[in-house]
Amino acid sequence: MKIPLLFTGLLALVALLPVAQPAHAGLFGMQGVRSNSVSVCFVGNAVTARPARVAQIRQYIAHFERTANIRFVYWGTCPSSIPQPNGNDWFDGDIRIVIPNTDVNALGMVPGQGCPMFGGAGNYNGDNDGWGSWSNFPNDLAPHRPCLYNMKLGDDPWNSTPYLNHTLHEFGHALGLAHEHQRTNATCPGPGTIANGWLTGYDIDSVMHYAFSACGVQGNYALTGLSALDSLSVRMLYPEDGRPAQIVGTTLVAVGSPILLQFGWRHDGAYMPFVANSMQWRINGSLHSTAVDFQHAFAVAGDYTVALTVVDFLNRTHTGQTLVRVRTPQQIQALTEATNAIHQHLLLGPEWSIFYDGFDGN
């Protein structure tokens, strides 16, 4: 049985739970958002003392770059500390990482003068084995700026190569995600401590979920990489530039037949009561609905522009539109026959020849 690591954000009550008690994790939790350009550096002589470990961490965090609108700017070694008038120390950089077996003391939680932890005063020294890990949320950066570093990535004691999910979990905290197993609707261990801020439904495969053998949940100790809902959560925290609102659904429909269109986040599993502050669906510029989904039956054949405007949980506006083609049953049949003919031509090869002029039933 693997021993769970100690992560920042774990409340004292949860920290005392036995190792055999997690559940499944999904993406949820809103703890602040950074810029989508995030500087990363390593404290002390980590870059030269443990280059392979540093390279491994850099390789792992690329998972976030491939998932969302995030770019990690690598600084190498963190700049020298900046003495503060109050005697505190400060290393510049968004994410300042310490790893064991370097010239920096990796014991304890937050080294440095005047470093609060969990909103309290003084240093937390519960991580004295040198391999535990923790990370500060983005909205903790202001009070924790005096600290020498704001993330520790230990070495797993049962494996010479730390788990991929170990790194993803801590960077998940640094980017704004909380523990999945602390949700009030978690089935294990439950009850949770987070009643709001759920970005998605409960997800047992999340890297933000601990492993609890009593519930048969492997969590972030066995599964590989970000789950589908993890990826969605990070995309919602760090959306594409311009914030396009993807619209998902069939856009060719017969006259009088109902059509269903959905916001891309909703389609992928977002928890809409929290994620969307407001939604507006428009048909050819006129307001149609403020419901979560677009549902309508067009009475007249023609082309219609359906536009969506979403104001999300951070009051950011996302916009998008799609063209809906409404056709008579006869036009739908003609288009289907033409499409089938093309498919047959592609399967049979060039010796079976047809002509197709893009007929769409008009």
What digits encode the pLDDT tens for the residues 261-300? Answer: 999 999 999 999 999 999 999 999 999 999 999 999 999 9
**Is 4 contained in some domain?**
no
Do 216 and 266 share a structural domain?
no
Do 262 and 200 share a structural domain?
no
Find out whether 253 and 325 touch, Cβ atoms under 8 Å.
Answer: yes
Per-residue confidence band for 125, with pLDDT thresholds at 50, 70 and 90: very low
Do 269 and 124 share a structural domain?
no
What is the per-residue pLDDT for 146?
63
Among the candidates 237, 257, 277, a domain finishes at: 237
Specify the range with the lowest mean pLDDT, choosing from 174-183, 295-304, 309-318. Answer: 174-183
Q: Comparing C-alpha atoms, which of 166, 37, 161 is closest to residue 95?
A: 37
Place of tokens 């976030």: 64
The whole-number average pLDDT for the span 229-258 is 96
Q: pLDDT tens digits for 312-350?
A: 999 999 999 999 999 999 998 888 887 777 777 676 665
Do 303 and 164 share a structural domain?
no
The CATH number that applies at residue 164 is 3.40.390.10
Specify the range with the lowest mean pLDDT, choosing from 66-70, 129-133, 146-150. Answer: 129-133
Phi, psi angles (nearest 5°) of residue 358 = 80, 20
**Percent of the chain's residues with pLDDT above 90:** 45
User: Cα 328 vs. chain centroid, distance in angstroms?
Assistant: 42
**Is 183 contained in some domain?**
yes
Sequence-distant (≥ 6) Cβ neighbours of residue 225 within 8 angstroms: 63, 164, 165, 168, 207
What is the per-residue pLDDT for 197?
85
Do 169 and 30 share a structural domain?
yes
Place of tokens 């914030």: 243
Do 179 and 309 share a structural domain?
no
Judge whether residue 122 has pLDDT over 50: no
The CATH number that applies at residue 313 is 2.60.40.10
Strand order in the sheet with 286-289: 252-254, 317-327, 302-312, 276-283, 286-289
Number of compact structural domains in the chain: 2
**Is 350 contained in some domain?**
no
What is the per-residue pLDDT for 185?
83
**Is 134 contained in some domain?**
yes
Do 135 and 59 share a structural domain?
yes
Among the candidates 237, 258, 278, a domain finishes at: 237
CA–CA separation, 238 vs 360, rounded Å?
38
Do 298 and 253 share a structural domain?
yes
Higher pLDDT, 29 or 246: 246
- pTM for the complete prediction? 0.81
> 11: helix, coil or strand?
coil
208 token code pair: 């933000």
Side chain identity, residue 6: L
Phi, psi angles (nearest 5°) of residue 73 = -95, 115
Per-residue confidence band for 120, with pLDDT thresholds at 50, 70 and 90: very low
Higher pLDDT, 171 or 24: 171
**Is 352 contained in some domain?**
no
Do 187 and 159 share a structural domain?
yes
Per-residue confidence band for 166, with pLDDT thresholds at 50, 70 and 90: confident
Sequence-distant (≥ 6) Cβ neighbours of residue 247 within 8 angstroms: 261, 262, 263, 264, 294, 306, 308, 320, 321, 322
**Percent of the chain's residues with pLDDT above 70:** 74
What is the per-residue pLDDT for 20?
24
Among the candidates 237, 269, 296, a domain finishes at: 237
**What pairing do the DSSP bridges indicate for beta strands 258-263 and 294-297?**
antiparallel
Do 151 and 30 share a structural domain?
yes
What is the per-residue pLDDT for 131?
55
* Residue 283, domain extent: 247-327
Do 260 and 214 share a structural domain?
no
Q: pLDDT tens digits for 74-115?
A: 999 998 877 777 766 777 788 999 888 898 876 655 566 555
What is the per-residue pLDDT for 301?
97
